[in-house]
Structure 1
Amino acid sequence: MKLNRRTALTGAAAGVALFSIGRPAAAQATRMRFAHPHPTSDSWQTAALQFADRIKEDTGGEYEVQVFPNGALGSDQQTISAVRGGSIDFCITGNPFFTGLAPVLNVLDLPFLFQSRAHVATVMDGEIGDGMRAELEASNLRALATWDIGWRNLTNSRRAVATPDDIRGLKLRTTPNPAHIKAFELLGAVPTPMAFTELFTALETGTVDGQENPVTLILNARFYEVQRHLSLTRHAFTTAPFCMNNDKFAEYPAAMQEILLAAGRDMAVAQRQMNEDAEATSLAELKSAGMEVVEEPDRDAFAAIVTEAVEQEFVAQFGSDLLDQIKGAAG
């Protein structure tokens, strides 16, 4: 998605002029590295490449972003650590991998919290989202925007899941987020946190019985090759902070900061739309690939078991104000 050039290039042109002063015309571009764990077929890769194009264009070619997908530069936690340390410039991964640094972000992964994609956008693109992104600055991360992973659904290799009883005893890969872990413990599963880059092999070897992710990522990561059953539980919506090193961000002139922020925000909107557009076609492809799909599991029964109990743990630690603001933003 392109910026409106009549408005966006005002700041961008100032940035280009600022960085070009005194620089030889043939000077080599400054290269920046962008790492993420998703496959090249995923919307993160498409949006990352578009972000790279924007930065090159809006800086007159003085900055070039190299994109490294599929965990090429490390696991979720490794890339976050590398961005904090400054050896990688940008990273994106799911919100659950940031909650160890900013535990209040755990609120975003509470089960059945978001009512719609519009609800997610209202929260993440407004003052609530600004406040949560700012929580990462103490860990030397500047969240330029919030992209998404999407509605989480359950897959496994053992049986169809239509009711909470069907989950009992399944060993499921989860994120390290406390809300995810607690919810599956309440349902009688055996939650097993691990990096996304390790997941396909764990499913293939039977280290875990199943996992939970959006249908777009289940398709793009080819989990259908090692999972038979898909249940559209939509038990949580996962957002994804798009971050860079905060010290590096602070060192840039205001014009360059605005270029980075504008590109990050625009790509967030574009990437979310890519995911939404791909949901229906991804589900159809998963069915064609042989997955057996429970399209209407008893979501109310799942919610009755996990929602209040997991929210109470969050409120006991952080109070209810932020949770109430997010719920109130549903309209």
Structure 2
Amino acid sequence: MRYLSISLWVMALVALTTSTTLQAAPVEEKILYLSHLNANTMANATGAMATRFTQSLAHLSKGSLRVEVFPEGQLGHQAQIVGLVKKGTIQSAIVSVGALAKIYPRIGVLNYPFRFANLQDTYRVFDGPFGHALAKDIFQTTGLKVLGYGDTGGLFVLTNSKKPVHSPDDMDGMRVRTMNMQSHQLFIKSLKGVPISIAWKELPNALSNRTVDGQMNPATIVQMGKLDRVQSHLTVTNHLYTPYIWIFNTAFLTGLSQQERAALSRAVGVGVDASRRLAASSKALEQLAKSMQITRPSSFELELFQEQTQPPLAKFIRESLGEEGSALLKVFQQKQPGETGSEVDDEAEE
């Protein structure tokens, strides 16, 4: 009933917006309702994506497509927003990997750790065969179209309030906040840490009162959440990369002309590029170094992290996601042309 009431409220809000805008809009104009959970500014990834997309689409479509943005969770939490896109109440949303997990469990493939050496490698993978295979599988499973992968703010780091972490041994017994995802919890367990699932909005208090000792997120998220006020140590592990997934209602896309679909696709690319430029220009680590001790593990120490976490995570993905998940994992592990870092080999993990 709660979801129904939210859906009715959203439909009323959209209808009110439509009636207001149509008074001054030409009849042939099509309006696209886009939702994301952050402020609609260029200071954060989803805001930058939505802003640049809106501007570009108006120009590229010659005014036939216009975007109305609903930022900061105005339409509900992410799972509800995904449902609104599926129903066609709104046409698009920029959501996290976790938002899709319930209706598309194979998104868990992305939680295979230490896959990437740097941000440029992530773009090669998500813009290449794996990104296309993932989008195709999401569509076949959920009916949602994926047109782009935005940068959430870089690769994951570990933070804590107890001590510098150089190697897996330093994680023994450490209580680490994770999202409510088995793969994230298994990652911490494989390092002999204690995973504790806590909602993001409750995390600052949990860190402050020492319910947990640490957490993992990109450095930009650590900075945005002001977690350096309650965490004193940061380790640059770069162990995970979870992009924003840009989803669209399929019926809406089908109803567009070929020219409009081309314009929309190009505008999505402009939005995705905005998020990547923001990540590339981030000075989060430099700024966090003023209030936190930054630890950069050596290549040997990072190999120890990989050896301890990759086998159990690969096994978990194969067992929990079945043959289709295993096949997707193999594509994910394939090294792309120009990619740096060591080649991932899963054969030794059987």
**Gap change, CA 1:300 and 1:70, over 3 Å in 2:** farther
TM-fit CA distance, 1:129:
1.1
Q: Deviations over 1:130-189 (max 9, x none)?
A: 121122223232111111222000112333322223323333232344322211122222
1:238 counterpart SS class: coil
- Which of 179, 182, 187 is the aligned partner of 1:183? 187
| 2: CA distance, partners of 1:217 / 1:236 | 14
Does the Cα contact within 8 Å between 2:56 and 2:270 map onto a contact in 1?
A: no
Letter of the structure 2 residue corresponding to residue 63 of structure 1: L
Q: Deviations over 1:201-255 (max 9, x none)?
A: 5444545433211112221232223322211111112222111222322232332
Letter of the structure 2 residue corresponding to residue 37 of structure 1: L
Identity %: 26
Which residue is equivalent to 2:345? Answer: none
Letter of the structure 2 residue corresponding to residue 326 of structure 1: F
Does the Cα contact within 8 Å between 1:37 and 1:196 map onto a contact in 2?
A: no
Q: Deviations over 1:56-83 (max 9, x none)?
A: 2223334332334443433332322332
Which residue is equivalent to 2:94? Answer: 92
Once structures 1 and 2 are overlaid, which stretch shifts more, 226-235 or 187-196? 187-196
Structure 2 residue runs without a partner (length 5+): 1-21, 338-350
| 2: CA distance, partners of 1:66 / 1:198 | 30
1:27 counterpart SS class: coil
Q: Deviations over 1:71-115 (max 9, x none)?
A: 343333232233223333322233243233222222222011223
Which residue is equivalent to 1:37? Answer: 37
Q: Are 1:110 and 2:112 counterparts?
A: yes
| 2: CA distance, partners of 1:196 / 1:91 | 20
Structure 1 residue runs without a partner (length 5+): 1-22
| 2: CA distance, partners of 1:239 / 1:292 | 27
| 1: CA distance, partners of 2:206 / 2:79 | 18
**Gap change, CA 1:103 and 1:67, over 3 Å in 2:** same
Residues 21-60 of structure 1 mapped to structure 2, 5 A cutoff: 26-27=25-26, 31-38=31-38, 40=41, 41-60=43-62
Letter of the structure 1 residue corresponding to residue 165 of structure 2: V
Which residue is equivalent to 2:160? Answer: 156
- Which of 299, 309, 314 is the aligned partner of 1:306? 309
| 2: CA distance, partners of 1:194 / 1:76 | 16
Residues 49-88 of structure 1 mapped to structure 2, 5 A cutoff: 49-88=51-90
Q: Are 1:228 and 2:232 counterparts?
A: yes
Does the Cα contact within 8 Å between 2:129 and 2:331 map onto a contact in 1?
A: no
Which residue is equivalent to 2:9? Answer: none
How many residues were matched structurally? 306
- Which of 319, 324, 330 is the aligned partner of 2:330? 324
Does the Cα contact within 8 Å between 2:161 and 2:213 map onto a contact in 1?
A: yes
CA RMSD of aligned residues (A): 2.8
Once structures 1 and 2 are overlaid, which stretch shifts more, 176-185 or 235-244? 176-185
Letter of the structure 2 residue corresponding to residue 322 of structure 1: L
- Which of 242, 248, 264 is the aligned partner of 2:246? 242
Does the Cα contact within 8 Å between 1:111 and 1:303 map onto a contact in 2?
A: yes
Q: TM-score, normalised by structure 2?
A: 0.77
| 1: CA distance, partners of 2:54 / 2:219 | 26
Q: TM-score, normalised by structure 1?
A: 0.81
Once structures 1 and 2 are overlaid, which stretch shifts more, 40-49 or 314-323? 314-323
Does the Cα contact within 8 Å between 1:42 and 1:216 map onto a contact in 2?
A: no
- Which of 272, 276, 280 is the aligned partner of 1:272? 276
| 1: CA distance, partners of 2:200 / 2:78 | 7
Which residue is equivalent to 1:215? Answer: 219
| 2: CA distance, partners of 1:133 / 1:187 | 32
**Gap change, CA 1:25 and 1:81, over 3 Å in 2:** closer
Letter of the structure 2 residue corresponding to residue 33 of structure 1: Y
Does the Cα contact within 8 Å between 1:75 and 1:196 map onto a contact in 2?
A: no
Which residue is equivalent to 1:258? Answer: 262
2:155 counterpart SS class: strand
**Gap change, CA 1:196 and 1:301, over 3 Å in 2:** same
| 2: CA distance, partners of 1:321 / 1:129 | 14
Which residue is equivalent to 2:348? Answer: none
| 1: CA distance, partners of 2:249 / 2:202 | 25
1:236 counterpart SS class: coil
1:234 counterpart SS class: coil
| 1: CA distance, partners of 2:205 / 2:248 | 29
| 1: CA distance, partners of 2:235 / 2:277 | 23
Which residue is equivalent to 2:344? Answer: none
**Gap change, CA 1:103 and 1:191, over 3 Å in 2:** same
1:237 counterpart SS class: coil
